[in-house]
């Protein structure tokens, strides 16, 4: 263990005391105690859906209900779905996608699937027993214009005041970013796929 002399320790205490005072003042300035948030996880990096499911798990830890609609990933079975099944009716899960558009190669089918998924999402948004709704890969459906972005944003804006919503997927539309309370852009610094490693259970799905 590194030995720290008393002068260095005192300088550290003084520095941290000042930092704490600034932090405490900033926290004290926040007056809104509760607000349903619109959260967007976007960007080319990995982990957008994983982060959303982390929030879902946190919400479940407080005994609250969570709704999930997957707009694209219907072709893959996921470990998350199996894990969340252990929570019973605390999780309402709908996998409604049929795979990425380059897999289906059928524009009309993709549009129909996205519209059906959005209809289910609207039902979850209206359910007063649900505290968090995850709209997984909704950004993909909006990017390819399977859904009208203005209509989607309008519906999200008029959700009930205490409902949290997380939207995932690359290339979030500017209108959605503008409407959101929290936007995280996940960058792609390095990915094992580039080195020839295929998607693995427990990591990608």
pLDDT tens-place string over residues 68-114? 999 987 666 788 999 999 999 999 999 987 655 555 567 888 899 99
pLDDT digits (tens, 9 = 90+) for 150-175: 999 999 999 999 999 999 999 999 99
**C-alpha angle 126-36-28 in degrees, rounded to nearest 5:** 165
Res 127 pLDDT > 80: yes
**Whole-angstrom distance, CA of residue 159 vs CA of residue 166:** 13
| Neighbour count for residue 151 (Cβ, 10 Å) | 10
Tell me which residue of 77, 41, 26, 37 sits closest to 59, measured CA to CA. Answer: 37
Res 21 pLDDT > 60: yes
Is the CB of residue 156 less than 8 Å from the CB of residue 186? no
The CA dihedral of 120, 97, 188, 168, to the nearest 10 degrees, is: 0
The CA dihedral of 184, 189, 194, 195, to the nearest 10 degrees, is: -130
* Residue 199 banded pLDDT, cuts 50, 70, 90: confident
Specify the pLDDT at position 196: 92
Specify the pLDDT at position 68: 97
Specify the pLDDT at position 102: 52
Is the CB of residue 179 less than 8 Å from the CB of residue 142? no
In this prediction, residues 24-42 reach a mean pLDDT of 90
**Whole-angstrom distance, CA of residue 137 vs CA of residue 35:** 24
In this prediction, residues 143-155 reach a mean pLDDT of 97
Asked whether the CA dihedral 58, 61, 62, 68 is positive or negative, the reply is positive
List the beta bridge partners of residue 165: 38, 133
Residues recorded for the chain:
205
In this prediction, residues 15-20 reach a mean pLDDT of 93
**Whole-angstrom distance, CA of residue 183 vs CA of residue 38:** 9
* Residue 40 banded pLDDT, cuts 50, 70, 90: very high
């Amino acid at each position: 263990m590194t030995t720290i002399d008393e002068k260095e320790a005192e300088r550290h205490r003084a520095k941290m005391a000042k930092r704490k005072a600034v932090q405490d003042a900033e926290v004290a300035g926040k007056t809104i105690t509760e607000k349903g948030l619109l959260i967007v996880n976007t960007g080319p990096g990995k982990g957008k859906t994983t982060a959303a499911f982390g929030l879902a798990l946190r919400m479940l830890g407080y005994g609250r209900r969570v709704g999930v609609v997957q707009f694209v990933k219907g072709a893959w079975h996921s470990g998350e779905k199996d894990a969340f099944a252990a929570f019973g009716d605390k999780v309402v899960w709908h996998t409604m996608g049929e795979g990425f558009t380059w897999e289906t190669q059928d524009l009309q089918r993709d549009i129909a699937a996205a519209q059906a998924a959005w209809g289910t999402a609207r039902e979850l948004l209206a359910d007063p027993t649900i505290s968090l709704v995850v709209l997984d890969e909704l950004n993909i459906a909006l990017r390819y214009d399977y859904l009208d972005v203005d209509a989607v944003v309008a519906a999200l804006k008029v959700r009930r005041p205490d409902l949290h919503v997380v939207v995932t997927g690359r290339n979030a539309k500017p209108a959605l970013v503008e409407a959101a309370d929290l936007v995280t852009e996940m960058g792609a610094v390095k990915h094992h796929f580039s080195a020839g490693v295929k998607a693995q259970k427990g990591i990608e799905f």
